[in-house]
Chain A
């Protein structure tokens, strides 16, 4: 419950969220989303929700990133719009 640590984590979280929707390269967006999930996992663990944090680290940072990259390998790498 160190509020400076929390503040820095939330700042990084918001920065990652904004970066993930503004960046043009889709592979970069996927990697930034995985960083977002990892910060979120640290935040859950800091809120004493270890079970949720574990799920977030396994699903959000692990499987989802892999599935996104596997999907990306079948499409183009750059956003069209």
Chain B
């Protein structure tokens, strides 16, 4: 399902900007509008755009199904790992301020919230992409 040359060129131009915007949304999730879920969805839409414009084999070459599974597990482990780290240091689940970093409490909480958002973003991106792969798998695959 290769598309027209105009579609492929525009897609190749626009995909890096979509990905940069997705990273911006994930990083600014703790302090403003956005967050891991929205950023992950935008990142997945960039990969789905590649899959639509260049055909599914090209998208599978960039991010394979195995990588997808690994990424979704990694994000979940980051989220749960930060939460359990807080329990180990004597706080509640995701009680960020108990983690002993050489920073003041607000900075620690901000840093840990960013890391958790990154984990959520990775998982959402991988799962959305794998849903698209499962639906769009054609008979030529």
Q: Is B35 an interface residue (CB 8 A)?
A: yes
Q: Is A28 an interface residue (CB 8 A)?
A: no
Interface of A (DSSP majority class): helix
Partner of B44, one of A50, A55, A63, A74: A63
Whole-angstrom distance between the Cβ of B18 and the nearest chain A Cβ:
10
Partner of A63, one of B25, B34, B35, B48: B48
Are A62 and B131 interface neighbours, CB within 8 A?
no
Are B48 and A66 interface neighbours, CB within 8 A?
yes
Interface string of A48-81 (1 = CB under 8 A from B): 0011001100110011001100110110000000
Interface of B (DSSP majority class): helix
Interface size class, chain A: 10 to 19
Beta-carbon contacts under 8 Å, B16-31 to A: 25
Q: How far is the CA of A10 from the CA of B102 in the complex (A)?
A: 52
Q: Is B135 an interface residue (CB 8 A)?
A: yes
Partner of A54, one of B38, B45, B131, B136: B38
Inter-chain contacts of B135 with A (CB < 8 A): 67, 70-71, 74
Whole-angstrom distance between the Cβ of B24 and the nearest chain A Cβ:
12
Inter-chain contacts of B131 with A (CB < 8 A): 67
Q: Is B37 an interface residue (CB 8 A)?
A: yes
Are A62 and B35 interface neighbours, CB within 8 A?
no
Interface string of A8-46 (1 = CB under 8 A from B): 000000000000000000000000000000000000000
Partner of B35, one of A51, A67, A70, A71: A51
Partner of B132, one of A50, A55, A66, A74: A66
Q: Is B33 an interface residue (CB 8 A)?
A: yes
| Chain A residues packing against B (C-beta within 8 Å) | 50-51, 54-55, 58-59, 62-63, 66-67, 70-71, 73-74
